[in-house]
Amino acid sequence: MSMTKGSRNILILGGFTIAISVVLTSVSLTIYHHSGDVYLDRSRPGFLPDEEEIEDDSKIEKTDFEFSDSGNITGETIDEYLENLLKEIEQLNKYEKPFDAKALTDETLGIPAE
Amino acid sequence: MKKKALSFYCITLMLFCQILLCSCVAGALSENGANYIIDNCEQIKTQLKNVQHNDSRARVYIGGYYEKIISKYITPLNVRLTRNNISDELAQELMSNQVSFATAQTNFKDDFIEYQKSLEELINADCGNAQDFYNQLVTVREKRQTMVFDINKVSELTSKHIELVRQLRGRL
């Protein structure tokens, strides 16, 4: 069964499209890895939030406050600003000992000193 | 003859000091420690992966608040001060603090990437050469320490910002 010219052209076009997609995807993944974005991405396998974390996050008191960049500067606006900012800082400080050195000590990893 | 002997002793002493210094910098590993790393490689790597997972969570949590503080508080306040034609020394100090905060925030992100790259290299490293594995672990610890330094820096700048805003409030 001979292939018509049109069928052959469609096959060539399909193959060409797949080849371009493979090249572009490879380039994107290389950039994604080399730029370091891969380390900031929590949606990659193994880094998705677990159930306990989602539960903890839902307990966090979230504020929708956003200080407006227009309007007069009055005592009341600054009081409101400080009140909300201090709330945010309080929530930020609730994360206990981030990047604590203890997590990687010989003792924690079980490596004997002697 | 005496000169030659003296030179020999000096060179020997220098080499000895260099070897001693290198071993101190890299982090000395005992024979038991080396055997432990080889025998419990998978267990150590599982612990390292847990650390990596927890650190990723910490970065998102802390980084999210840094972004919120600068984009919803610090920057709009400075823009509002400018729009109200307030450009005195205090306003300039607030602006300068904003620049420092943004720099510290970028350092936090960049240092995290460097730290994670290093940690991933350690997780993928071969435990067969325990000393090399341990040296890499020492490097990871140093990079982790940089993260604490970055957090302290942002914390210091946040405190300074609050202090400056309180001074501004005092004038109104």
Q: How far apart are the first and last CA of chain B?
A: 85
Give the chain B residue whose CA is nearest to the CA of A68. B76
Give the chain A residue whose CA is nearest to the CA of B49. A46
Are A37 and A56 found together in one domain? no
Angle between helices B75-83 and B89-123 (to 10 degrees): 160
Mutate to test the interface with A, among B109, B113, B139 (most CBs of A within 10 A): B113
Residue A105 lies in a domain: no
Confidence of residue A53 (pLDDT cuts 50, 70, 90): confident
Are A60 and A94 found together in one domain? yes
Q: What angle do CA A27, A29, A34 make, to 5 degrees?
A: 95
Are A31 and A55 found together in one domain? no
The count of structural domains within chain A is: 2
Residue B55 lies in a domain: yes
- Inter-chain contact B40–A110, Cβ cutoff 8 Å? yes
Q: pLDDT tens, B8-22?
A: 666 666 655 554 444
Average of per-residue pLDDT across B97-125: 97
Residue A103 lies in a domain: no
Residue A25 lies in a domain: yes
Are A60 and A21 found together in one domain? no
Q: Which of A11-15, A44-48, A81-85, B9-13 has the lowest mean pLDDT?
A: B9-13
Give CA–CA dist A9/A16, Å, rounded: 10
Residue A72 lies in a domain: yes
Residue B24 lies in a domain: no
**Helix (H, G, I), strand (E, B), or coil: what is residue B139?**
helix
Are A56 and A38 found together in one domain? no
Structural domain span for residue B63: 32-171
Q: pLDDT tens, B49-98?
A: 999 999 999 999 999 999 999 999 999 999 999 999 998 999 999 999 99
Segments in B27-88 forming alpha helices (H): 31-39, 41-69, 75-83
> Which residues make Cβ contacts (< 8 Å) with residue A89, sequence separation at least 6?
B65, B69, B158, B162
Give CA–CA dist A91/A86, Å, rounded: 9
Chain-centroid distance, C-alpha B76: 29
Name the pTM for this structure.
0.82
Q: Looking at residue B72, what DSSP letter applies?
A: I
Give CA–CA dist B78/B87, Å, rounded: 10
pLDDT, residue B23, reads 45
Structural domain span for residue A9: 1-48
